[in-house]
Structure 1
Amino acid sequence: MDIADIATTDYIELEAESNVGKARSIFEEKNPKGIIVTRAGDYEGVLTQKQLLRSHIEDHTKVDTLTKSAPRVERTDNVRDVARALVEGGTKVAPVFESGNLWGVIGQDLILEAVLENLDTLTVEQIYTENVVTIAEDATLGQAINRLREHGISRLPVVDDDGFLTGVVTTHDVVEFATRNVEKTTRGDRSGEGDRLLDLPVYDVMSSPAATTSLGESVRDAVERMLDSDYSGLVVTPEDDDRVVGGVVTKTDVLRALSYTEEDVMDVQITNVNLLDTLTRESIRESIAEISDKYQKMQVRHAHVRFHEHKEKLRGTPLIQCKIRLRTNRGQVAGSGEGYGAEQAFSVARDKLERNVLEVKGVESDREYEGQLLRKLGEL
């Protein structure tokens, strides 16, 4: 299926010289997945709601200061390649070109709607993300925003004092709540009002109850619910207790699964590839393969490496966070780390991943030993 079969020529375009306040209004009124930014009719990049949330820029600032590059998609590209491009570009929308000219846009939802009937073969358990970041009900809105920025994520399951799921707060919830409340004040009061909003508890902002799914549900059913309700993700809970956060599954997770390959070599997917400096996809693949080869029983089906840039810098080199997640026949194994530059961050994350892989190996070796011991005792 070519992407031209599902892309759209109906999109929101904004001139690069427009101010950020106008962009905020567009997101509030029309809730698009992204805005295509142009300059004198030529494509410049994209602007997303998440970028606005992460910024402290005043409304009068020009849009081009927040414009982000996005993968350029051709009308003849196939769905798998475009799904991978969106994930690795860390964006939900991308421009579609024909003969060098901007023709339309493609986004997550359009792809998922087109492949929905093919998602019955997958279950949530096969693609979801474990060990998610959560936040307490009594944490402040400011703390929630910082956590979303710090981890480069768009949603936080909210838990009570006992650790039970009570709701979820997303970037969209934060932007909508802040915009709605600040507009109630006069211009002169906005600075103080903004400070007061940041001190409000997450409980006042979160959506409750949280939309959930279970490990055994088909990805098709989960995605249908996301599309119907305009959710970007669902909280995953155990079959026997929907009060406990077991993970999350997002539209991005589904796109990542769509781009899995059947290659003989390990399939490695990298989010925010633009942050790579001296690293290459092949060097990352070889490094991860070295770890998996140390434990032959653990077959790595897919590796996801995600880079996230912090504002802090050391002699001009940004602080980078790297997260590595392996999907294996023994479950998920992950490692994360930070460093100045992608290479250092990847090295720290790789070392943590290797320790976690060896820990899995040790636990399974202990279980094998216990099983052998029990069998011998049974023979006495």
Structure 2
Amino acid sequence: MDIADIATSEYVEVDVDERLGKVRSIFERENPKGIIVTEDGEYTGVVTQKQLVQSHVEDKTKVGGMAQNAPRIERTADVRETARVLVESGIKVAPVFEAGDLWGVITDDDILEAVLDNLDALTVEQIYTEDVISIAQDAQVGQAINKLRENGISRLPVIDEDGHLSGMVTRHDIVDVVVRDMDKSTRGERAGDIDRILDLPIYDIMNSPVETTTFSASVEDAVRTMLEHDYAGLVVTPSEDDSLVAGIITKTDVLRALTFTEEEHMDVQITNINLLDTISRQDIRIDIEEVADKYREMQVQHAHVRFHEHKEKLRGTPLIQCQIRLRTNKGQMAGSGEGYGAETAFNVALDKLQRNVLERKGVESDEEYQGQLLRKLGEL
């Protein structure tokens, strides 16, 4: 299957001179994955809802200044490779070209709908994300925006005072509130309205109840639920208690699973690969393999390395957050860290991953020793 079978020629387009205020309204009204930005009819880039939430740019600013480069997909491209490109670029929509001309767009939903019937062989437990960033229900909208921005994510499970799942707040929820309130206000009132919105408790804007899934559910069922309700992800809960957050499964997790390959070397996928500076994909793979080799009984099925750039810089080098996640026959292993430049951040995260791997190995060694000791005591 190639992109020609599933891409669409229908998309939302604005000119580079369009104001951000109108673009925000389009996202609130139509909720597109992204908007194509053109100049004199020629493609120049994409603007996403994520960008608007993360920016403090005024409504009167021209959208051309916000447009970002998205990978150009050929109509004849392979679906598996396109899924990889979307994940590694950290984007939900990309332009599709035919013979050098903009033909349409491809989104993560287009790909998932096309492969939906083939996802019944996977379970949620095989591909979910174990580490979840959440927020307390009495936290403020401003705090939620900071968490979304700092972690480069689109949704936050909301936890009540007892540690139970209370709701979900997404980037779209925040955009919806901001745009709706701005439409009601006059220009002179807007500064005060922004402060008021940032001070709102999460409880006032979160969605509740929350759609959840379990470890044993099929990925097909989980994706059908996400597509039906236009959710980017589902909270994973233990089957015996749907109020406890055990993890999250997102459309990106599913796209990533589509790229898994049986190769001679470990399959490493990198999100935001454009942030790599003095380190290469091969360097990353070799270093992770060396860590994994220290635990002979652990077989790495897939490695995901995610980079996220903060605004802070040191002598022109940005502060980077790196997260490494290994899917292994011994469960998920992870490590994270920050540093100036991708290589430094990766090395900090790799060190944390190594400590976690050796700790897991030590725990199993202790359990094996205790078992041997108990057996010997039983023989006395």
Per-residue CA deviations over 1:344-376 (Å, capped at 9, x if unaligned) read 111111111111111111111111112212222
User: Could you say which residue in structure 1 is the equivalent of 2:160?
Assistant: 160
Per-residue CA deviations over 1:313-370 (Å, capped at 9, x if unaligned) read 1111111111000000001111111111111111111111111111111111111112
Distance 1:86 1:14 in 2: 22
Q: Is the Cα–Cα contact under 8 Å of residues 2 and 77 in structure 2 kept in the other structure?
A: yes
Distance 2:313 2:285 in 1: 27
Q: Which amino acid aligns with 1:370?
A: Q
Per-residue CA deviations over 1:83-110 (Å, capped at 9, x if unaligned) read 0000000000011111211111100101
User: Could you say which residue in structure 1 is the equivalent of 2:277?
Assistant: 277
Question: How do residues 1-380 of structure 1 correspond to structure 2 at under 5 angstroms?
Answer: 1-380=1-380
Distance 1:145 1:192 in 2: 18
Q: Is the Cα–Cα contact under 8 Å of residues 322 and 336 in structure 2 kept in the other structure?
A: yes
Deviation at 1:250, TM superposition (A): 0.5
Q: Secondary structure at the match of 1:284?
A: helix
Per-residue CA deviations over 1:52-74 (Å, capped at 9, x if unaligned) read 00000001111122212111111
Percent sequence identity over matched residues?
A: 68
Deviation at 1:129, TM superposition (A): 0.4
Q: Secondary structure at the match of 2:263?
A: coil
Structure 2: which 5+ runs fail to align?
none
Q: Is the Cα–Cα contact under 8 Å of residues 7 and 106 in structure 2 kept in the other structure?
A: yes
Q: Which amino acid aligns with 1:26?
A: I
Q: Which amino acid aligns with 2:242?
A: D
Distance 1:104 1:186 in 2: 37
Distance 2:40 2:360 in 1: 56
Q: Which amino acid aligns with 1:281?
A: R
Distance 1:239 1:375 in 2: 34
Distance 1:105 1:183 in 2: 30
Query: What TM-score, normalized by structure 2, do the two folds share?
Result: 0.98
Distance 2:149 2:346 in 1: 20
Q: Is the Cα–Cα contact under 8 Å of residues 25 and 179 in structure 2 kept in the other structure?
A: no
Deviation at 1:379, TM superposition (A): 2.1
Per-residue CA deviations over 1:229-253 (Å, capped at 9, x if unaligned) read 1111101111111111111100010
Moved over 3 A (4+): none
Deviation at 1:180, TM superposition (A): 1.5
Distance 2:129 2:276 in 1: 23
Aligned length: 380
Deviation at 1:139, TM superposition (A): 0.4
Q: Which amino acid aligns with 1:263?
A: E
Distance 2:346 2:42 in 1: 36
Q: Which amino acid aligns with 1:298?
A: M
Q: Secondary structure at the match of 1:27?
A: helix
Per-residue CA deviations over 1:204-226 (Å, capped at 9, x if unaligned) read 01100111110110000000010
Query: What TM-score, normalized by structure 1, do the two folds share?
Result: 0.98
Deviation at 1:182, TM superposition (A): 2.8
Q: Is the Cα–Cα contact under 8 Å of residues 72 and 96 in structure 2 kept in the other structure?
A: yes
Q: Which moved more, 1:173-182 or 1:227-236?
A: 173-182
Distance 2:16 2:343 in 1: 33
Distance 1:369 1:316 in 2: 52
